[in-house]
Structure 1
């Protein structure tokens, strides 16, 4: 029994030495490389620097050899942009992170973005001045008056959720053949997200997501009260035509209808490249 027990102890000791060596190697890569030198394919270096600056206080490392803030942010941006496996992200030549470290970075960065940036930067125009600025920008781009924003939905892939009595997993299986959330986005003429809704499963139709959103209720209330009469969002043909939501005609036979569809499509190119 003694030789067998000694072999187990020796193996664990060797494994710990290997883990320690990997940690040192990863730390060396992080300390002596510049991840900002990586070509910007999805997120610009300006965006990365902006996030590092904004999130620095929330993400600042507590330990001497903790992961630097810029590495946490860059690892998360790499994952967001490519959707690759966390192991592949962390083992990039510029990052030097293990898979568990990448997972922790993702959680911390997402929490920091929600805490620091969400309420301050993702907001629908409320004042008359803000609405006037949005309308003027869309008028300059597409010649379309009174547009507050562009609306569309996107299927955001998720891991298959667990079945529950109230929400079975099949509700998240979308028409494209994968599990997702059907997330609604509204953006302005500067391609900034000004509202989003990520509460509906992937099988939900875009129109149903819109009908169940707080923004739909807000615009309807504003229209009824005369606050934003004659102002609207632009959407595609998947949405119903409403006084506060302008969509293309299904059959654009007349010249004026074709002109309207052309203007609508020009504006929506901001949302859908």
Structure 2
């Protein structure tokens, strides 16, 4: 039997059989070459199946789910709305008119949030003081979206702070404030009450972390606030570490320099001197808006059986000094 006859035997019909027989593939005749090509295609098919199987086993990214947005102004009554957002519906609409142009998106892609929904998410975060992921689940958005919305709304409100926080500059405004304080305490010439308040913050870390540690043993910002006889904030400074003394904050403030230059005539009454700043300014603006509109305080009673109200978390609660709500003492700052 010749060499070619040996290659064409039934035992040598495939490429693998020829390799096992010890023969060189280069010596294959034309017909075994066709068999080799078919075997190569089969190998490629098997490899492709293995790749597809591996891709199916890899965990893929979850598909986006778009939820129907609800309007809290329509879904909640007045009492429940105040309990959840700490302001009335009228104040909510007024604030929405002020910031809606800053909150509108340039595109409607991916069902972009409307200004109404953005403001409701941010106010919910301010009011309950919970974690962003909890607020996001309550409002139907992710934690990342909740974070972006809070920063966006906070920046928009802070840009309008001069509409809500301003010190009495004209004589008529100062006269009204002095008259109001005199009716309360029989002390003449008072145009404001000043005090400091510590706002809790998370440990920022880094080399300056200890600067945020106040005398009470926790990390905070020391904010200087001035209010009038109607409990409206007229001036605030919230950029100092919790370890900074109240006296230094006042000495370094613009308000102190204005008093020394004689721009304001009157007395400031206060206690004896011994991503958070922007949120503090925003909440002060909301406080003044609610006070001007005489919004009712939320009722502490439960809404009804089976309904739970989120409790404020420690990290977002504003803790005032021990004497912040007490009567002011007779220590004063007098303009030079």
Q: Indicate the residue corresponding to 1:6 in structure 2.
A: 56
Check if 1:137 corresponds to 2:180: yes
Give the alignment's TM-score, normalised by structure 2.
0.60
Cα distance, 1:111–1:85 mapped onto 2, change above 3 Å: same
Point out the more displaced range, 96-105 or 40-49. Answer: 40-49
Cα distance, 1:33–1:193 mapped onto 2, change above 3 Å: closer
Q: Deviations over 1:225-259 (max 9, x none)?
A: xx545x111101236xxxxxxxxxxxxxxxxxxxx
Q: Deviations over 1:22-77 (max 9, x none)?
A: xx2xx314369846544413622233222112111111233332112122112111
Larger radius of gyration: 2
Candidates 97, 105, 120, aligned match of 2:163: 120
Q: Secondary structure at the match of 1:182?
A: strand
Give me the whole-angstrom Cα distance separating, in 1, the residues matched to 2:140 and 2:267.
48
Q: Indicate the residue corresponding to 1:87 in structure 2.
A: 133
Q: Check the 8 A contact 1:134/1:147 in 2, yes or no.
A: yes
Q: How many residues align?
A: 223
Q: Indicate the residue corresponding to 2:142 in structure 1.
A: 98
| Structure 2 residue runs without a partner (length 5+) | 1-49, 275-325, 330-336
Q: Secondary structure at the match of 2:261?
A: helix
Q: Deviations over 1:166-199 (max 9, x none)?
A: xx21010122332111011111122221111112
Cα distance, 1:49–1:36 mapped onto 2, change above 3 Å: farther
Q: Check the 8 A contact 2:198/2:220 in 1, yes or no.
A: yes
Return structure 1 stretches of 4+ with deviation > 3 angstroms: 29-39, 265-268
The higher relative CO (CA closer than 8 Å, separation ≥ 6) is in 2
Give me the whole-angstrom Cα distance separating, in 2, the residues matched to 1:70 and 1:193.
26
Q: Secondary structure at the match of 1:194?
A: strand
Cα distance, 1:31–1:121 mapped onto 2, change above 3 Å: closer
| Structure 1 residue runs without a partner (length 5+) | 240-264, 269-273
Tell me the C-alpha RMSD between the 2 structures: 2.5
Give me the whole-angstrom Cα distance separating, in 2, the residues matched to 1:84 and 1:129.
42
Give me the whole-angstrom Cα distance separating, in 1, the residues matched to 2:215 and 2:87.
32
